[in-house]
């Protein structure tokens, strides 16, 4: 399926998209890491396909939440998800993705919040120039709160996300939000 989508015609996968999506979601429940990783890579290939965007964009919330949910399975799976996120961040619809990720960042438990932060950081890296003040007002309080999380990996990811927002959006937009951070995080 990945080869077909990458090098061939997407006509057949598009025609059978709902069945393929149902099968991939089922495979993502697998206890076998190899099966799970293969299904994640296939899903990543689908998301990167411009021909299939009309199909997968209707399932974006399900796709992102499923990827985030799989992050907890194992270190091997989470490493693969990190790689997939690097590849798909440039094609994810920004507004919808931020609206999906923000509640996970706000209320998600570890490692779901960590995965959501990493996706947001990559979105900022790839599409940050399209982020608005409204996006920043929405996400910054939750990201700032995670900069004081009990999990060091989450704290680190939150700080990286804030730094990426600062670099991409500029000091004049992000610096006023620093009031949400404690003094040690501002340094």
| Per-residue pLDDT tens digits for 121-177 | 999 999 989 989 899 889 999 998 999 999 999 999 999 999 999 888 877 776 666
Measure CA 159 to chain center.
16
Q: How far is the C-alpha of 17 from the C-alpha of 46, rounded, in Å?
A: 10
Distance separating alpha carbons of residues 21 and 4, to the nearest angstrom: 15
pLDDT of residue 65: 97
My answer on whether 69 and 125 are in the same domain is: no
Query: Do 115 and 146 fall into the same domain?
Result: yes
Question: Is the model more confident about 174 or about 52?
Answer: 52
- Whether 5 is covered by a domain: the verdict is yes
End residue of a domain, out of 10, 45, 74 = 74
Domain assignment of residue 83, yes or no: no
Q: Quote the percentage of the chain above a pLDDT of 70.
A: 88
DSSP state of 48: H
Q: Is residue 181 part of a domain?
A: yes
CA dihedral 21, 26, 30, 34 (to 10 degrees): -20
What average pLDDT is seen over the chain? 90
Residues 70 and 97 in one domain: no
In this structure, the answer to whether residues 66 and 106 fall within a common structural domain is no
Specify the pTM.
0.89
Residue 181 has pLDDT above 80, yes or no: no
Please give the tally of structural domains in the chain.
2
119 shares its domain with 147: yes
Looking at the domain assignment, is residue 86 inside a domain?
no
- Flag whether 143 is in a domain: yes
Examine the pLDDT at 180 and tell me if it is beyond 80: no
Higher pLDDT, 187 or 14: 14
Pair 49, 109 in one domain: no
pLDDT band at 74 (very low <50, low <70, confident <90, very high): very high
Domain that includes residue 133, residue range: 93-186
Whether residues 64 and 103 share a domain: the answer is: no
Shared domain check, 182 and 106: yes
Q: Which two tokens stand for residue 145?
A: 């709160």
Question: Any idea which of 4-8, 138-142, 176-180 has the lowest mean pLDDT?
Answer: 176-180
Same domain assignment for residues 46 and 105: no
**How far apart, in whole angstroms, are the C-alpha atoms of residue 142 and residue 146?**
6
Residue 112 has a pLDDT of 97
Shared-domain flag, residues 57 and 115? no
């Amino acid at each position: 399926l990945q080869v077909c989508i990458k090098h061939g015609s997407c006509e057949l996968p598009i025609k059978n998209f709902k069945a393929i999506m149902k099968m991939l979601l089922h495979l993502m429940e697998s206890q076998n890491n190899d099966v799970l990783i293969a299904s994640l890579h296939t899903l990543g290939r689908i998301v990167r396909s411009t021909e299939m965007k009309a199909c997968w964009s209707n399932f974006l919330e399900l796709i992102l939440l499923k990827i985030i949910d799989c992050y907890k399975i194992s270190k091997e799976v989470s490493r693969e998800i990190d790689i997939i996120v690097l590849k798909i961040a440039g094609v994810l619809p920004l507004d919808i993705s931020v609206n999906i990720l923000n509640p996970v960042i706000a209320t998600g438990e570890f490692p779901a919040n960590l995965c959501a932060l990493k996706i947001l950081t990559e979105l900022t890296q790839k599409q940050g120039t399209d982020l608005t003040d409204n996006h920043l007002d929405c996400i910054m309080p939750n990201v700032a709160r995670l900069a004081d999380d009990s999990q060091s990996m989450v704290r680190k990811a939150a700080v990286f996300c804030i730094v990426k927002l600062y670099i991409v959006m500029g000091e004049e937009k992000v610096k006023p939000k620093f009031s949400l951070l404690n003094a040690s995080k501002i340094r």
